[in-house]
Amino acid sequence: MLRFPKDRFGTNSLKWDKYKKEQNIIPLWVADMDCFSPPEVIDALHKRVEHGVFGYTKVPSELVEATIDHVKTHFNWEIKPEWILWFPGIVSGLQVAVRAVESEPLFTFTPIYPPFLSIAKEFGKNYILLPMRQSAVQVGGNELVKWHIDFDEFKRAIPKEGGHLLFCNPHNPVGRAFSSEELKELGRICTEKNVVVTSDEIHNGLILDRTKRHYCIAEHIPELTERTITLMAPSKTYNIPGISCSFAIIPNAELRRKFARVMHGIVPDVNLFGFTAGTAAFKYGEPWRQELLDYLWQNWLLVRETIGAIPQLTLTDLEATYLAWIDARRISDNPTQFFENAGVGLSNGADFGFPGYVRLNFACERELLREGLERIKNSIAPNKLTAKFAP
């Protein structure tokens, strides 16, 4: 059974320490989960700590085998050990990718996880943001929206020299697990127009909608295998983002060499706790992950039922991730502030390139989520009293 600590105050948690306890703001923002990690991961870390010697380390062959096995079992992709490069975090992997691939311009589909946007500014690289399109969908009796890539616009934006697409699948924040057809269309365009792809697949273990699946673009579109850098990590799925352990899968030897050269001497190695936790997560975490998916799906249904029924808010339907994307432009110019005033801390859509939107992280204990959703509901119907959450 998924277990939760009594609270996370006093544990140096980025998510919980943003607000003081007395402020009584429920933190539903940064993307980590409030539950304990899989017991097998915790046990493995205990064992490693008990040994008591924390010297330099190297990639354990057990982790490489577990990773190859994981990628084959979950995504039907047979990868080779030499294709894998290890580093602490996916954001540094994105940074390395944009330095390693000379092609410009950079493209990304927005709204998007903020570091995708800041990379462009930091580099001064030619960067083209391609807003996704929305369509209305009826789900569970509510009118929601679903976001799609505008392929025609993408095609038109690519110059004859090609470019470099920073892709996010499953997509944060619009919750899409892109379909086979969509990836094929994307693959056709990138192949025809000479676009290199960096595919951030950190959320690939979090397909909440059991009728969908994750496709690794480099596996699914054979023409892209040699022109794609795939970024993955056990961090989101097994709730170990504070124990940094990530990797890139790069089948193309030349691309891999360039990526390794940029990393060399700058990007630190994964530390031994990262290796320990990652190995245990991939080897033993599956039963826990199955429970997690069920729990998160029920949380999502609660979000859908509550937010989906508030006419002033437009909720995005969700296939993957534990992040709900909400259009709150009818409520306020600064909905993050508005909801903080109501006692709920959400991520600001402006950071994702979409002011007026908010992102709600529902990977918390259900009662806490229920309370957060009540506060949101009551803040919009101001005559009702907001109950107090007592942590």
Ligand X SMILES: Cc1ncc(COP(=O)(O)O)c(C=O)c1O
Q: Is the bond preceding residue 170 a cis peptide, omega within 30 degrees? A: yes
Stretch that binds ligand X, among 42-50, 85-93, 281-289, 331-339 (CB under 6 A): 85-93
Question: Which one, 186 or 342, has the nearer CB to ligand X?
Answer: 186
Asked if 91 touches ligand X (CB under 6 A), the answer is: yes
Residue corresponding to tokens 């086979």: 180
Asked if 241 touches ligand X (CB under 6 A), the answer is: yes
* Shortest Å distance, C-beta 1 to ligand X: 25
Report the C-alpha gap between 162 and 310 in whole angstroms: 44
Question: Which one, 2 or 30, has the nearer CB to ligand X?
Answer: 30
Residue type, position 365, single letter: E
Q: β-pairing, 133-139 with 127-131?
A: unpaired
Report the C-alpha gap between 229 and 168 in whole angstroms: 12
Question: Which one, 8 or 203, has the nearer CB to ligand X?
Answer: 203
How many C-beta neighbours within 10 Å does residue 297 have? 14
Binding pattern to ligand X, positions 99-128, x when CB under 6 A? Answer: --------------x---------------
Question: Which one, 270 or 380, has the nearer CB to ligand X?
Answer: 270
Contacts of 304 (CB under 8 A, 6+ apart): 139, 140, 142, 144, 315, 318
Q: Which residues does residue 176 pair with via DSSP β-bridges, in sequence order? A: none
Stretch that binds ligand X, among 89-97, 179-187, 260-268, 357-365 (CB under 6 A): 89-97
Contacts of 22 (CB under 8 A, 6+ apart): none
Residue from the set 37, 95, 228, 246 that interacts with ligand X by CB under 6 A: 246
* Shortest Å distance, C-beta 126 to ligand X: 22
Asked if 230 touches ligand X (CB under 6 A), the answer is: no
Q: Which residues does residue 106 pair with via DSSP β-bridges, in sequence order? A: 127, 164
Task: Say which DSSP state 232 is in.
Answer: E
- Binders in 306-365 for ligand X, by CB under 6 A: none
Contacts of 390 (CB under 8 A, 6+ apart): none
Binding pattern to ligand X, positions 152-191, x when CB under 6 A? Answer: ----------------x---x-------------------
Q: Which residues bind ligand X (CB under 6 A)?
A: 31, 89-91, 113, 168, 172, 200, 202, 233, 235, 241, 246
